[in-house]
């Protein structure tokens, strides 16, 4: 018979203290979110105060008269992988009559192709968070959902892989890819339809799920699932005959696909003139790049000395009330200082690796990973992820999210590495200099890169070319 008994034992476990939890939460906040948080805490904690001296930092003067703070419509954005390694968004859009302007997604010179893309508007993220709040999710799933929302780009796509999302929720939660997949499906149910898709195909199929009553939907799904890459190039009548459908049925399905939005995040919520307040400012002084925190990164928050004295002089409930708020105030001030120190250390590490980019542009961007920075500054990889998401650096070349200085690398024939962004810049230069009557094929581009010391496969060249929305050699020849 089993009997109940009491036993005494010792065990070890890791537990986050309230101070550490607060520090992690503040580090993950953007500058605007931090300001809102501090405003609320100033209203509820009488021990906190700050001088009313106007704006925290005169950023335009700090950058010089010719470097104004850019709006989100003018600033840098995505430098990661293409929307999908296999699907050509630009080619697909050639088959559609999109009514919205696409100027920010067209070609351009080396710098503008990387620097002109806008960061995700705050209103889309806020909208997604509001919708997720209405879902019945555990604390762990909510943390995953927040990481997913943070990783969604301006077009509404999820750019980060599951490994990066796992790092983003550590150390609070250790999650499996299956858990992330489940939460992602929930986020994908949010408006606008197609948001949080990982590639163009997934985005369009999600929108077709909402059109099941349309007679053309079934054929449209087949076209998206099996023939999306072929739609811009294949003769409509020939493809219709291969699918054994009439021309009318085929064109009805194609018309349905054309009505879908390949960039669900672009105009998800009303456009507004949001402005980014950079956390860090990079300036070149005496030939070296120097970094400093902006005033918004370390707000002028202090403890009210009058109430601090009262906490030590009074007794009873008043004393307990004041001492409790005094401890909270001290934790907050310490957490803000740690946040600023972490951002500065991470930013300086990035500048040491990517200083050449500030001098010469995207072609000089070096391969860099979160793990490399984590090892250099002695912090956890998840901390680096928080410190680089929605944190911005003002430079003479524009304002960039810290996350955008990271790029995967490709081995060179000399034993080094070149970043994916640098290779894209090289490809663009080769195409800009080609004979327009005899455009370079992907294989010719790969051969030229190999002669320049960059050993990449033809498929990799095609992937990078498509990521820059550059047509294939045959299409370029036709357009010429």
CATH of the domain at 471: 1.10.10.60
Q: Give the pLDDT mean for 176-189.
A: 92
Q: What is the pLDDT of residue 348?
A: 94
Q: What is the pLDDT of residue 108?
A: 38
State the residue range of the domain holding 293.
280-405
Contacts made by residues 239-248, CB under 8 angstroms, sequence distance 24+: 243/219, 245/219
Q: Is-contact 9 322, C-beta < 8 A?
A: no
Least reliable range by pLDDT among 128-137, 235-244, 376-385: 235-244
The verdict on 399 and 419 lying in the same domain is no
Percent of the chain whose pLDDT exceeds 90: 13
Q: Is-contact 162 147, C-beta < 8 A?
A: no
The verdict on 386 and 425 lying in the same domain is no
More confident residue, 455 or 82: 455
The verdict on 425 and 456 lying in the same domain is yes
Q: Is residue 442 part of a domain?
A: yes
Q: What is the pLDDT of residue 365?
A: 78
The verdict on 330 and 304 lying in the same domain is yes
Q: Which residues contact 161 (CB under 8 A, 6 or more apart)?
A: none
The verdict on 398 and 415 lying in the same domain is no
Please provide residue 90's backbone torsions phi and psi, each rounded to the nearest 5 degrees. Answer: -65, -45
Question: Using 50, 70 and 90 to split pLDDT, how confident is the model at 271?
Answer: very low
Q: Is residue 34 part of a domain?
A: no
Q: Is residue 241 part of a domain?
A: yes
End position of a domain, from candidates 360, 385, 405 = 405
The verdict on 243 and 316 lying in the same domain is no
Q: What is the pLDDT of residue 294?
A: 87
The verdict on 343 and 433 lying in the same domain is no
Percent of the chain whose pLDDT exceeds 70: 77
The verdict on 397 and 414 lying in the same domain is no
Question: Using 50, 70 and 90 to split pLDDT, how confident is the model at 115?
Answer: very low
End position of a domain, from candidates 377, 405, 433 = 405
Q: Is residue 48 part of a domain?
A: no
Q: What is the pLDDT of residue 257?
A: 87
CA distance linking residue 480 with residue 476, whole number of Å:
6
Q: What is the pLDDT of residues 283-299, one digit of tens each?
A: 988 889 999 998 777 78
Q: What is the pLDDT of residue 268?
A: 58
More confident residue, 119 or 395: 395
Q: What is the pLDDT of residue 416?
A: 53
Task: Count up the domains in the chain and report the number.
Answer: 3
Q: Give the pLDDT mean for 241-270.
A: 81
End position of a domain, from candidates 258, 291, 308 = 258
Question: Using 50, 70 and 90 to split pLDDT, how confident is the model at 346?
Answer: very high
The verdict on 455 and 357 lying in the same domain is no
Its sign, for the CA torsion 343, 346, 348, 350, is negative
Q: Is residue 294 part of a domain?
A: yes
Q: Which of 333-347, 388-402, 408-422 has the highest mean pLDDT?
A: 333-347
Q: Give the pLDDT mean for 416-445.
A: 79
Q: Which residues contact 92 (CB under 8 A, 6 or more apart)?
A: 200, 228, 231, 232, 262
The verdict on 425 and 446 lying in the same domain is yes
Write out the two tokens for 181: 């997949």
Write out the two tokens for 327: 């401890």
CA distance linking residue 399 with residue 383, whole number of Å:
22
Q: Is residue 38 part of a domain?
A: no
Q: Which helix (H) or strand (E) holds 302?
A: strand 302-303
What's the mean pLDDT when you consider all of the chain? 76
Q: Is residue 355 part of a domain?
A: yes
Q: What is the pLDDT of residue 184?
A: 93
Q: Give the pLDDT mean for 397-417.
A: 69
The verdict on 294 and 385 lying in the same domain is yes
The verdict on 397 and 461 lying in the same domain is no
Of the candidates 75, 76, 23, 4, the one whose C-alpha atom is nearest the C-alpha of residue 330 is 23
Of the candidates 462, 355, 465, 365, the one whose C-alpha atom is nearest the C-alpha of residue 417 is 365
Q: Is residue 433 part of a domain?
A: yes
Q: What is the pLDDT of residue 24?
A: 85
Q: Give the pLDDT mean for 149-170.
A: 86
pLDDT at residue 343 tops 90: yes
**At which residue do the structure tokens 């076209």 appear?**
223
Least reliable range by pLDDT among 148-152, 264-268, 345-349: 264-268
Q: What is the pLDDT of residues 37-67, one digit of tens each?
A: 888 899 899 989 987 644 444 443 334 333 3
More confident residue, 229 or 222: 222
DSSP three-state, residue 301: coil
In terms of DSSP H, where are the helices of 77-138? 89-93, 110-115, 122-133
pTM over 0.85: no
Q: What is the pLDDT of residue 267?
A: 63
């Amino acid at each position: 018979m089993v009997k109940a008994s009491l036993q005494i034992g010792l065990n070890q476990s890791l537990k986050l203290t309230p101070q550490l939890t607060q520090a992690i939460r503040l580090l993950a906040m953007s500058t605007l979110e931090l300001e809102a948080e501090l405003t609320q805490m100033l209203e509820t904690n009488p021990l906190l105060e700050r001088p009313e001296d106007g704006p925290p930092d005169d950023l335009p003067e700090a950058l010089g008269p010719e470097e104004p703070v850019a709006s989100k419509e003018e600033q840098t954005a995505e430098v990661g992988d293409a929307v999908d390694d296999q699907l050509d968004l630009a080619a697909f859009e050639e088959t559609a009559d999109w009514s919205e302007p696409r100027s920010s997604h067209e070609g351009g010179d080396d710098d503008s192709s990387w620097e002109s893309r806008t960061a995700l508007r705050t209103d889309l993220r806020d909208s997604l968070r509001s919708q997720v709040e209405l879902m019945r999710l555990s604390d762990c799933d909510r943390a995953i959902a927040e990481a997913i929302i943070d990783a969604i780009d301006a077009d509404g796509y999820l750019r980060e892989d599951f490994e990066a999302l796992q790092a983003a929720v550590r150390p609070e939660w250790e999650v499996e890819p299956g858990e992330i997949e489940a939460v992602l499906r929930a986020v994908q149910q949010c408006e606008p339809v197609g948001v949080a898709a990982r590639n163009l195909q997934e985005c369009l199929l999600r929108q077709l799920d909402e059109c099941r009553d349309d007679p053309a939907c079934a054929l449209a799904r087949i076209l998206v699932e099996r023939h999306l890459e072929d739609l811009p190039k294949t003769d409509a009548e020939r493809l219709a005959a291969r699918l054994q459908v009439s021309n009318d049925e085929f064109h009805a399905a194609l018309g349905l696909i054309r009505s879908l939005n390949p960039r669900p995040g672009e105009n998800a919520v009303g456009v507004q003139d949001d402005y980014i307040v950079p956390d860090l400012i990079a300036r070149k002084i005496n030939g070296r790049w120097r970094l400093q925190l902006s005033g918004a990164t370390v707000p002028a928050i202090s403890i009210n000395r009058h109430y601090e004295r009262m906490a030590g002089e009074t007794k009873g409930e008043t004393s307990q009330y004041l001492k409790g708020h005094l401890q909270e105030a001290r934790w907050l001030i310490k957490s803000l200082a740690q946040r600023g120190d972490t951002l500065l250390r991470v930013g300086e590490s990035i500048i040491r690796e990517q200083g050449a980019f500030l001098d010469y542009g995207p072609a000089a961007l070096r391969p860099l990973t979160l793990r490399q920075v984590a090892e250099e500054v002695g912090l956890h990889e998840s901390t680096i992820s928080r410190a680089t998401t929605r944190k911005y650096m003002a430079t003479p070349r524009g304002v960039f999210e810290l996350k955008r200085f990271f790029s995967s690398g490709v081995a060179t024939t000399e034993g080094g590495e070149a970043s994916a962004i640098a290779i894209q810049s090289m490809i663009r230069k080769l195409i800009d200099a080609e004979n327009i009557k005899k455009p370079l094929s992907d294989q010719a581009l790969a051969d030229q890169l190999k002669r320049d010391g960059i050993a990449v496969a033809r498929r990799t060249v095609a992937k990078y070319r498509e990521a820059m929305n550059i047509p294939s050699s045959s299409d370029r020849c036709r357009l010429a």
